[in-house]
Amino acid sequence: MYTKRLFIACLLGLLMAACQSAGQLYKKGERRAKAGEYQLAIDNYKKALAKNPGFAPLRINSSMAAAYRLSNRLKEAAPFYQAAIAAGAKDDSTLFYYGYALKAQGKYKEAAAQFEQFSKISRRVQWKNLAKKEIENLPAIEQLSSEKTTYEIQNVNALNTAAAEFSPVVQNEDFIFTSSRKDVTYKANGMGMLGLYKSKISGDSIQGSKIELFSDQVNVNNVNEGTPTFSKDGKTMIFARGNTGGRVKQNKPTDVDLYISRLKDGKWTAPEMLPLSKLDTWDGAPALSTDGKTLYFASNREGTLGGLDIWQATADGSGRFGRVRNMGPAINTPGNEIFPYVSDDGRLFFSSDGHPGLGGLDMFTATRSAGQITVRNMGIPMNSMGDDFGVIFKTPTSGYFSSNREGGIGDDDIYFFEDKKTDLKVVNYFLAGKTVTRDANGQETVLGNTKVRFMEGDKQIGETTTGPDGAFKLKVKESQNYTFIAEKPEYLTRREFFSMSGKSIPQELLVKPVTDTTYTLVIPLDKPKLNESFVVENIYYDLDKWNIRPDAAEELDKLVDFLKDNPNLTIELGSHTDVRNTDEYNLGLSQRRAESAVQYLVENGIEQSRVKAKGYGETRLIVKDAQDEEEHQRNRRTEITIIGIK
């Protein structure tokens, strides 16, 4: 009897220890989840279930489902949401997100029924609106599933691994992408932290065996970096960085922010956070417009219509991005919009789980015609039941995108796509140019018999001399950048830039099999005048600084070209300050600024004897009563004055 009692007591003790151990593991998982370490939380929940399979089914399944969802694994969350509901869960979060989890599994009718049930019992107005939107969208999936597109896709298996590879960019001969290949583990999903990597690309062939870090200056081991976008000349990069997993520190980025780096002397500069980023919001997935004047990005900042919205910022006179605004309800929904991209023909591509889609993120294209924005799903096979995002075009009919669809090699994979449409319409693009001169009142008159050279990048592709009408014509290519150099004795040689980026006509807007379209360009040539001054745009200085900023260097490069094109000129380079210091200090500061600019010109091949530095301090203000930083910056300018003509 005693032995039997002892056995029962021991058994009860072991059961109590097992229950206690499961409870401790569950609590540890909850602490991990609260810290955003979702994979570690999931590991602890699984250990708790291994200790005691019957432990608190409502609590542990709800927690497991939430951890999978918050680490962007909705499909994996579905069975745990189902188990939590079977165990009696009636909370809004479980009932609501179970609908999304069913959608991620491709169970569209079940998802619609779940959202319908939720909308009847919930009192949360915002979530009810989202549920109703899903109920409206889900029937459109049947039509999407039946539509055939002419796209063909192929996994880039030379590049993809068991890690995540996504957000590709083709920049000249470099194939740049984001991947979770770092040695440091990101505690939210148990994978390596994200970094930027590159390989070489030739045609459509990517050298997957020769992958290297993008830049030692950009990649930091214990943070996530990704989703880069580049200016057309490849010298400026904006990317996202954040999610260190550490504790929030005062005045330090707490989530994801946008950073900028510039290519200088063959190396990328140390990244600086863009001022438009907010410390307490998620700002990521940047994309520059083809002319570099607009920055698109995703954010959950105040004013967002849903989870993440697409926003845009425009560059000011100094090249800095500001004037941030939401893209509005034609693009953004109560769901999430992310991964914007602007193609060379001006179309905006993005991913969304708020517009009608197959599940997860689908890729969409937005076109504007007659003031109306039309959003179209890219269809199957570009989209799937998984997350499809990060599309880019390498040619007008082919490119790359990212997806975590079934059948991939790793978490997110990069895919190649090509539109095999056989009835693609043809557009012939022409540029009609004209050389003119201007009188003292700015009135233009034709300037004939002017030599004009045609340049594609640094390569001369043609040359002509205009007739008495000053006209010339050239057939131009999609996406190409051109420089036209016009020269005539007794006139200043003039360079005029023209880009076909963003000027291509989308296929869906074409009617005829062959269309001719012509763009125009006017090149004004002026006679040099002694003591004539003009402002060199965008050569600005930070407050109390005289070093050449990267954005100013780009403008000084144009001045180098101007002086090389006009070797008969001698100039004064005059620098000006704002009023925020003493007269004496500002004179010295402006002199240092002028000398810094002159030194830059000399280092880039201009003879020292042809340029003179002169500081004017605050003696020649453009805005005399400047009120804000932008007005002060207009006063901190550089002017060029012709002081000698050979």
pLDDT in tens, 284-311: 999 999 888 899 999 999 999 888 999 9
Q: Which pLDDT does position 243 carry in this prediction?
A: 66
Q: Please, what is the average pLDDT of the chain?
A: 86
Q: Is 513 exposed, middle or buried (CB count within 10 Å of its CB: 0-12, 13-18, 19+)?
A: exposed
In angstroms, the CA 586 to CA 591 distance is 8
Pick the more confident residue, 565 or 551. 565
Domain-wise residue ranges, the chain? 56-146, 151-419, 426-525, 533-645
Q: Which pLDDT does position 208 carry in this prediction?
A: 75
Detail the DSSP E strand segments found in 488-630: 494-499, 514-525, 533-535, 569-575, 611-615
Distances (CA, A) of 241 to 196, 207, 258, 270: 11, 26, 6, 13
Q: Is 631 exposed, middle or buried (CB count within 10 Å of its CB: 0-12, 13-18, 19+)?
A: middle
Question: Is residue 239 within 8 Å of residue 229, measured between CB atoms?
Answer: yes
Strands 569-575 and 533-535: unpaired
Average pLDDT in the 178-207 region?
Answer: 88
DSSP per-residue letters across 213-272 = ES-TTT--TTSEEEEEEE-TTS-EEEEEEE---S---TTS--SEEEEEEEEETTEEPPPE
Q: Which pLDDT does position 17 carry in this prediction?
A: 43
* Whole-number CA gyration radius for the chain: 30
Of 439, 464, 460, 461, whose CA–CA distance to 449 is shortest?
464
**At 110, which helix (H) or strand (E)?**
helix 108-121
Q: Which pLDDT does position 423 carry in this prediction?
A: 80
Structure tokens at 302: 């105040």
Q: Which pLDDT does position 252 carry in this prediction?
A: 45
In angstroms, the CA 111 to CA 138 distance is 8
Please provide residue 468's backbone torsions phi and psi, each rounded to the nearest 5 degrees. -60, -25
Model confidence band, residue 332 (pLDDT cutoffs 50, 70, 90) = very high
Could you tell me what percent of the chain has a pLDDT over 90? 47
Average pLDDT in the 601-614 region?
Answer: 92
- Residue carrying the six token digits 């015609």: 369
In angstroms, the CA 103 to CA 408 distance is 20
In eight-state DSSP terms, residue 623 is S
Structure tokens at 362: 């689908």
Structure tokens at 103: 């959608």
Own/partner pairs, 112-120, CB within 8 angstroms, 24+ separation: 112/138, 112/139, 118/92
The fold of the 533-645 domain, in CATH, is 60s Ribosomal Protein L30; Chain: A; (3.30.1330)
Q: Which pLDDT does position 229 carry in this prediction?
A: 97
Model confidence band, residue 634 (pLDDT cutoffs 50, 70, 90) = confident
Model confidence band, residue 239 (pLDDT cutoffs 50, 70, 90) = very high
Per this entry, what is the length of the chain? 646
Pick the more confident residue, 227 or 367. 227
pLDDT in tens, 146-189: 888 899 999 999 999 999 999 999 998 899 999 999 988 888 78
Distances (CA, A) of 299 to 168, 305, 306, 445: 20, 10, 10, 49
Q: Please determine, for residue 8, whether its predicted confidence score (pLDDT) is greater than 50.
A: no
Lowest mean pLDDT among 334-343, 352-361, 486-495, 503-512: 503-512
pLDDT in tens, 447-478: 999 999 999 877 899 999 999 999 999 999 88
Q: Which pLDDT does position 637 carry in this prediction?
A: 76
In angstroms, the CA 642 to CA 72 distance is 61
- How far is Cα of residue 131 from the mean position of the Cα atoms in its chain? 30
Q: Which pLDDT does position 631 carry in this prediction?
A: 78
Gap between the terminal Cα atoms of the chain: 121
Buried b (16+ CB within 10 A) or exposed e, 34-68: eeebbbbbbbbbebbbebbeebbbbbbbbbbbbbb
DSSP, collapsed to helix, strand or coil, labels residue 631 as helix
Structure tokens at 476: 């131009």
In angstroms, the CA 253 to CA 250 distance is 9
Q: Please determine, for residue 615, whether its predicted confidence score (pLDDT) is greater than 80.
A: yes
Beta bridge partners of 257: 241
* C-alpha triplet 212, 183, 175: angle, nearest 5°: 25
Cβ neighbours of residue 12 under 8 Å, at least 6 residues apart? none
Question: Is residue 543 within 8 Å of residue 588, measured between CB atoms?
Answer: no
Lowest mean pLDDT among 376-385, 525-534, 621-630: 621-630
pLDDT in tens, 41-74: 999 999 988 888 888 899 999 999 999 988 888 8
Within the chain, how many helices (H) and strands (E) appear?
Answer: 10, 36
Please provide residue 591's backbone torsions phi and psi, each rounded to the nearest 5 degrees. -65, -40
Model confidence band, residue 10 (pLDDT cutoffs 50, 70, 90) = very low
The domain over range 151-419 is classified in CATH as 3.40.1190.20: no
Q: Which pLDDT does position 282 carry in this prediction?
A: 92
Predicted TM-score of the model (pTM): 0.72
Average pLDDT in the 561-567 region?
Answer: 91
Q: Which pLDDT does position 250 carry in this prediction?
A: 41
Q: Which pLDDT does position 542 carry in this prediction?
A: 62
Q: Which pLDDT does position 284 carry in this prediction?
A: 95
Buried b (16+ CB within 10 A) or exposed e, 364-392: bbbbeeeeeeebebbbbbbbbbbbbbbbb
Structure tokens at 268: 């990328």
Q: Which CATH class is domain 426-525?
A: mainly beta
Q: Which pLDDT does position 247 carry in this prediction?
A: 39
Q: Please determine, for residue 380, whether its predicted confidence score (pLDDT) is greater than 60.
A: yes
Q: Which pLDDT does position 551 carry in this prediction?
A: 66
Q: Which pLDDT does position 583 carry in this prediction?
A: 78
Detail the DSSP E strand segments found in 553-607: 569-575
Q: Please determine, for residue 635, whether its predicted confidence score (pLDDT) is greater than 50.
A: yes
In angstroms, the CA 376 to CA 367 distance is 9
Q: Please determine, for residue 1, whether its predicted confidence score (pLDDT) is greater than 50.
A: no
Question: Is residue 387 within 8 Å of residue 361, measured between CB atoms?
Answer: yes
Q: Which pLDDT does position 630 carry in this prediction?
A: 75
Of 367, 358, 345, 391, whose CA–CA distance to 153 is shortest?
391
Structure tokens at 406: 């079934």
For the domain 56-146, what is the CATH code?
1.25.40.10
For 436-582, where are the alpha helices, taking DSSP H only?
550-565
Q: Please determine, for residue 251, whether its predicted confidence score (pLDDT) is greater than 70.
A: no
In angstroms, the CA 297 to CA 239 distance is 10
DSSP, collapsed to helix, strand or coil, labels residue 405 as coil
Strands 283-288 and 309-315: unpaired
Model confidence band, residue 244 (pLDDT cutoffs 50, 70, 90) = low
Model confidence band, residue 593 (pLDDT cutoffs 50, 70, 90) = confident
Question: Is residue 84 within 8 Å of residue 94, measured between CB atoms?
Answer: yes
Strands 611-615 and 569-575: parallel
Structure tokens at 219: 């990649």
Of 340, 343, 336, whose CA–CA distance to 361 is shortest?
336
Structure tokens at 4: 């039997």
